[in-house]
Amino acid sequence: MRIIKDKQVEAFIENIGHRASAYISEDKIHNAVKKILNDVKRNGDKAVKEYTERFDLIKLRNLLIDKKKIETIADKADKKVVRMLELSAKRIRVFHEKQKEKSWTFSKEGITVGQIIRPIERVGVYVPGGKASYPSTVLMNVIPAQVAGVPEIALCVPTPRGEINPYVMSAIRLLNVEEVYRIGGAQAIGAMAYGTETIKKVDKIVGPGNIYVATAKRLVFGEVDIDMIAGPSEILIIADNTANPSFIAADLLSQAEHDEMASSILITNSMAFAKKVSDELKNQLNKLKRKDIAKRSIDKYGVIIITKNLNDAVDIANRISPEHLEIMTYNPEDLLPKIKNAGAIFLGEWSPEPLGDYSAGPNHTLPTGGTARFSSPLGVYDFIKRSSIINFKKEGFIRLADAVKTIADIEGLEAHGNTIRVRLGCLI
């Protein structure tokens, strides 16, 4: 793993930024996805079935996976795994219950203002089902929607060559999701965004996917809302020489094995420690089943940054704004107040990032590509709408009439001011 410092750090940070933007800006993919979306918009189910046959090598009569089929496939899952999914689901639900907001009003001197909290009416959830299937994605995307009170949840999961993952079906059964479609890719995003004969249009689409899914979500934004554009996975670790090199190497590789564009970064103030981690990483890498993917990721986007002190490490971390940030220092809590930008923060050597992926409770759908500077993990707040309440009695109207009329006049909006003048005329 490369060890860099000083001017090399600036070049690396710039390269990481370009990697994120390039992920969803390739013209060839953009044009291909746009064609699929337009076809689905025009031809509905017919187009969805044709693309499913082409890409997933399965000819579908029905897009829906009925409840009986979900039950049958879920019954094939290992019972221990199902129990672990149940444990994780409980923790995820408890955490997200803490995020619920309440409607409120405030009244004084004839004026009542407030805010009504309502759930989004209909949400589409995308669950990957290609190279790998992720029951945890079902839990992390469906549970906050349920906690928010979303009445309709439609879930799309591809079934390449007709294979339906029993653990994904177990998660679906656990959460009692009944509207499940066996489609994926850009065509699934189009079906949810525009609606088809079978699939009713949704109001928001959430869930991760490959570059085609990410591009499709970007293109339908505005027609529907989306959670975020999920780029390649990232981990950044701040550590001093009190940390365990084998722990850090394992955690860096946990993200590198995702795909070759994943980024794994260690920042430390000790060159001797950096070399220990680099050696340990080589040893662990060779034992991984996905070592080829992890190696390409580490070679291209993996790096160990040497800084003079931990404050400099924090500054670099805030500039990179990683999806996952681990702090493994003598007192990790001391650095926490200085962290401004990170999707999820893991403190101490017993808080490895995969805990957050599966069972800790907080959501694992996190901002990537530096977007933690301005966005947040998926949560209940992503599935609600806020409406303002404005209720004036006569005395309240009189109190603010002159202010409204004056501002409307200086902005040149005569009709706005007239709404006040007309009412004031009735009071004479």
Residues 324, 164: Cα–Cα separation, whole Å: 30
User: Which of 129, 123, 122 is CA-nearest to residue 52?
Assistant: 129
DSSP of 92-117: HHHHHHTT----EEEEETTEEEEEEE
Residues 117, 61: Cα–Cα separation, whole Å: 40
Distances, alpha carbon 160 to alpha carbons 35, 59, 166, 232, in Å: 21, 10, 14, 22
Cβ 304 vs Cβ 274: under 8 Å: yes
Distances, alpha carbon 55 to alpha carbons 34, 49, 113, 187, 334, in Å: 16, 10, 52, 10, 50
Cβ 385 vs Cβ 119: under 8 Å: yes
- The strand pairing partners of 133, in sequence order, are 129
130: buried, middle or exposed (CB in 10 Å: 19+, 13-18, 0-12)?
middle
> For residue 380, what is the DSSP state?
G
Residues 369, 99: Cα–Cα separation, whole Å: 25
| Active site residue ranges | 323-324
User: Which of 354, 317, 356 is CA-nearest to residue 336?
Assistant: 317
Q: Strand 122-126 to strand 204-206: parallel, antiparallel, or no bridges (unpaired)?
A: parallel
